[in-house]
Structure 1
């Protein structure tokens, strides 16, 4: 077996670490920055707080980001960067803000639209602005990955764009920022973390360091997600989920995700199921499917205290029910007549990472098992 591991992101973890923002920016000589964040943070005052904590090093704020960032969001952000001679970006929020900032930090160095890089094979040069990622959810792991998931409505595409430029320079993980996350989003993003860990482990590109990280992250999710769901102010649970999120990000960054993520993209784009819940929709199913060909999943499950991968899959389903996630085709608004086309759309390139080979027919049969 041959493998390589590298992680270029400096990770700063701890409750109330956001208060050290100015010192961190000074340490790295960063000035003239742009804060990229969800419009919600303008309403709740967090964006203003971040600007104040920068002590003048953040010069402007970009709020024009949708829940699934679009070509237009990225191109608008890049235009502001160019016009204001911005030198670094702070990405504050969930995956949408981070994905927008990652792409903008590179596309601003060109005269192109980001549309030219989504699903086309066109590659960025190595010039980009430094990014400081500050996640406010325990979910995407985007703060330590080189992936930006973008939507092109004109061409009806939602797809990841991958480049080493997209690695943030610094990730500041402050679990206190996640305390106000509502129960549903806590559950949805938590299942995204679990999917990152499991899929990174069973990906065909798995490797030992990422395997170890995946086991650690998954254990934290199983032990703490429901506690944070029922009591968002439980800082101990929030800290463990923040730890799980960043470590799961490290676990899948190199192996990449597989079947559940491949299926999540059409589930989100067509049925408007938020990303984490869309991953959860098939996660227990892929656990059962993949354990038939991957004996390593038994070891994974045993390390987490389960007798088998099937018992672990049962627990995933149980947690989905406990946290009111969509379970059946009816829950998701999927009609039986939709399955032929949906199954074809699930043949995203990430499906090639799955340890058992899937095709539209086997995917359709998998979905049919949810018709109850």
Structure 2
């Protein structure tokens, strides 16, 4: 069938198998060009199909030669019905990994559930024995608690007072003001923490440890974000930020769980990038389009694959075995974004940004391209007017 992009707000409703395969190939080629490093050998990635998750899997596999298991929840393909981008990403990754002689298997299901956790444990026992790295990169707006059956939905709101600032419709380039009402009750915070906090990461590590599938000296890493002060009211000081605080605090709890096997948990604070999650946050698309402009001009821009390669090669797996962290024990791979000179220039451009000058002072085009690349569109070498086979299977999922 012929597949074109169809969007609704910050969501692209279609994805292209050839374009997503190109996206995966580009990331693999980047890692190969950087060269191999001494890293993990048996890796579980939870939330492995898009964004930082798929880039983590690519980095581990093609940078360190690791066997990888990926867990995700994606819509499979069917005749006349394209699958989700994450489904196509995972299919392309497995194909490339197997061609390179690398073990790669995937599990498609609700990672919050006990059933998927057990299915993953069984696969590790059968094929790998033990794993030495667990990447937790799960992003979802909803979670059904595996113990109580209660369904929670996260909310994106400020706390205490309304938040008003600039935002942009990245499709049209129209800059406007947006106002977001604050939370109505503590329940909004609690629900968001239940979905996006650290409890599920802890459940995973407890279950994996109890099952004996974690190797001595195992490491686990989850991803977070802090960002600049201008986004604090809606992000770090809002409901999402409360969930991220909980996630970061959970690393200490997991350290205690893994203490008898000398395991260690880290939270990596990553750079602001175009992902399916970040596109949904008001203010953030405008900030990212300005940030891209500044960082590209300084030749320090990174996408998810560049971020993950630097995280693995320069932070998690250093030659001296020491993982550099900040005073809160977090890995700061957002260090280039948060440089004083970068933030000063972004703040200046933020104050100047209007609909009329946005194309000139920002990289809104780069934002759009990155957004559509997530779904396999806007690649110059793909003929989007041509018929493509929408039915793509993931080799390890029957």
- Whether TM exceeds 0.5 here: the answer is no
Larger relative helix fraction: 1
Q: RCO greater where, 1 or 2, for CA within 8 Å and sep 6 or more?
A: 2
Larger relative strand fraction: 2
TM-score by length of structure 2 reads: 0.29
